Structure 1
Amino acid sequence: MSAAPRAEQDGDSGKGGGRKKLLLLALPLVLGGAGAGLWFGGILPPLLGMGPAPREAEGAAQAEAPRPPAFFDMPEIITNLNATGRRPVFVKLRSKLEIARAEDGVAIQAAMPRLLDLFQTYLRETRPEELRGSAGTHRLREELIARANIAVAPPAGSTQAAPRINDVLFVEILIQ
Structure 2
Amino acid sequence: MADEEKEEKEGGEKPKKSKKMLIIIIVVVLLLVGGGAAAYFFLFSSKPAPEEDPAAALRKTVPTESMEIGQTFPIDTFIVNLANPLGKRYLKVTMQMELDNPKMTAELDRRMPQLRDAILTILSSKTYEDISTSQGKLRLRSEIVARVNAFLTSGSIRRVYFTEFVVQ
Structure 1 residue aligned with 2:167 = 175
- After superposition, the C-alpha distances for 1:85-139 in whole angstroms (9 at most, x for unaligned) are 2x52110010000001211111111110001000001111111110011101100
Which amino acid is 1:163 matched to? Answer: G
Structure 2 residue aligned with 1:42 = none
Distance in structure 2 (CA, Å) of the matches to 1:117 and 1:110:
13
Structure 1 residue aligned with 2:99 = 99
Structure 2 residue aligned with 1:130 = 130
Instruction: Map 1:27-176 onto structure 2 (within 5 A).
Output: 69-85=70-86, 87-153=87-153, 162-176=154-168
Cα distance, 1:163 vs. partner?
1.8
Distance in structure 2 (CA, Å) of the matches to 1:78 and 1:148:
18
Percent identity over the alignment? 26
TM-score, normalization: structure 1?
0.55
Which runs of 5 or more residues in structure 2 are unaligned?
1-65
Which amino acid is 2:99 matched to? Answer: I
Cα distance, 1:67 vs. partner?
8.8
Question: Does the residue aligned with 2:155 lie in a helix, a strand or coil?
Answer: coil
Question: Does the residue aligned with 1:74 lie in a helix, a strand or coil?
Answer: strand
- Alignment check: 8 A CA contact 2:69 2:98 kept: no
Q: Report the RMSD for the aligned CA atoms in angstroms.
A: 2.0
Distance in structure 1 (CA, Å) of the matches to 2:166 and 2:83:
15
- After superposition, the C-alpha distances for 1:127-167 in whole angstroms (9 at most, x for unaligned) are 111001110110000000001101223xxxxxxxx221101
- Alignment check: 8 A CA contact 1:115 1:152 kept: no
- After superposition, the C-alpha distances for 1:21-65 in whole angstroms (9 at most, x for unaligned) are xxxxxxxxxxxxxxxxxxxxxxxxxxxxxxxxxxxxxxxxxxxx9
TM-score, normalization: structure 2?
0.57
Summarize the Cα distance change of 1:128–1:102 in structure 2 as closer, same or farther, 3 Å threshold: same
The runs of at least 4 aligned residues of structure 1 exceeding 4 Å deviation read 65-68
Which amino acid is 1:152 matched to? Answer: L
Structure 2 residue aligned with 1:158 = none
Which amino acid is 1:112 matched to? Answer: M
Question: Does the residue aligned with 1:76 lie in a helix, a strand or coil?
Answer: strand
